[in-house]
Amino acid sequence: PTGWSRIDGPLQPHAYDLSKVRDKAQQAPQPFLGNSDVCLWIYTPKEAMSFFARNADADEAWFIHEGKGLIETDFGPLQYRKGDYVIIPRGTTYRFYPEKSPQFYLLIESFSELEIPDRGQLGRHAFYDPGVIEVAQAKPSTAGPTKGKEWEIRIKREGVWTSVFYPFNPLDIEGCKGDLFTWRLNLADIRPIISPRYHLPPSVHTTLTASGFVICTFAPRPMETGDPKAMRVPFFHRNIEYDEVLFYHDGDFFSRTGIKPGMVTFHPQGIHHGPHPKALKNQFTKEFTDEYAVMVDTLRPLKPMGI
């Protein structure tokens, strides 16, 4: 079904190499795909933010593709590293302090609340145990003395930034109370759901849900070796209700050729896609996948933007 001779029109699949725009995304996140439910950004900071940020429009899920450091928030600081999801609720004040190493973050901006999916009969510990989630804990500020300094918070509302200035550090907090918090989950703590006789659909890998889209995580897992006729690569399928975006993080991307870490593929609704011919031919030569990827599936069509 993907053996077309050519495509004329907007449904042509795309591949983006985000590593080619690293320099443009050093000072501030740069968007590349979005709709009214979600926006995808790239951020490659070289130094600590010179201000605090607060998103009054959306929850934020930061995926750390490269690098490590500390993020300071209203709820306390969190150390982050490669392979982390860092979840920042709407209205949270924060600032990144990256270490001196290459940094590359994927920002998934959600205009509705990000939630952990209900696993039904599999139970709430399936895919990842909520007990492994690290929650920010309030500590004295790491931002240094406040005397003689002015502190800026940049607040985004309806896509427009407003700067608010204080004569004191606004994150010099004593503690917090309630069930809202900033939290972190690493890829190493994800346990894929598998079947030895059937290639499960991507929805089984759902990591976070929101209104109008889902975030899924593909992690190394055993392949379907329990049935000699079972496909070991993603089946050909036609997106009818979702646009599909796949961010390639790390490993050997078995189902596609010409893909390297930091690239994104975009498959619009209404057109087929599936494994490349080489992967389809060689699928029975492997018994284990060695790849990490983040997928965002959206109900509303996505539009290229920014970079």
Q: Reduce the DSSP state of residue 35 to 3 states and report it.
A: coil
Query: To which H or E segment does residue 266 belong?
Result: strand 263-267
| pLDDT > 60? residue 102 | yes
The alpha carbon torsion through 142, 143, 144, 147 (nearest 10 deg) reads: -140
Q: Rounded mean pLDDT of the chain?
A: 91
Query: Which of 208, 162, 195 is closest to 59 using CA atoms?
Result: 208
What pLDDT sits at residue 283? 83
**152 band by pLDDT with thresholds 50, 70 and 90:** very high
pLDDT at 253: 81
Q: Which residues contact 244 (CB under 8 A, 6 or more apart)?
A: 266, 267, 273, 295, 296, 297
pLDDT reported for residue 24 = 93
Two structure tokens written together for 207: 């990591």
pLDDT-derived band at 39 (thresholds 50, 70, 90) equals: very high
Strands (E), 113-210: 134-135, 151-157, 160-166, 183-186, 206-210
pLDDT tens profile 64-98: 999 999 999 999 999 999 999 999 999 999 999 99
Q: In the prediction, which pLDDT does 145 show?
A: 60
Q: What is the pLDDT of residue 3?
A: 87
Check whether 214 has a pLDDT greater than 90. Answer: yes
- The 3-state DSSP class for residue 203 equals helix
Mean pLDDT over residues 214-226, rounded?
93
- CA separation for the pair 111, 137 (Å, rounded): 25
Question: For the residues 49-75, what does the mean pLDDT come to?
Answer: 96
Question: 280 burial class (0-12, 13-18, 19+ CB within 10 angstroms)?
Answer: middle
pLDDT of residue 140: 65
pLDDT value at position 114? 97
Q: Could you report the per-residue pLDDT of 161-213, keeping only the tens digit for each?
A: 999 999 988 888 888 888 899 999 999 999 999 999 998 888 899 999 999 99
Please state, in angstroms and rounded to a whole number, the distance separating the CA atoms of residues 57 and 303. 19
Number of other residues whose CB lies within 10 A of the CB of residue 246: 24
Give the three-state DSSP class for 60: strand
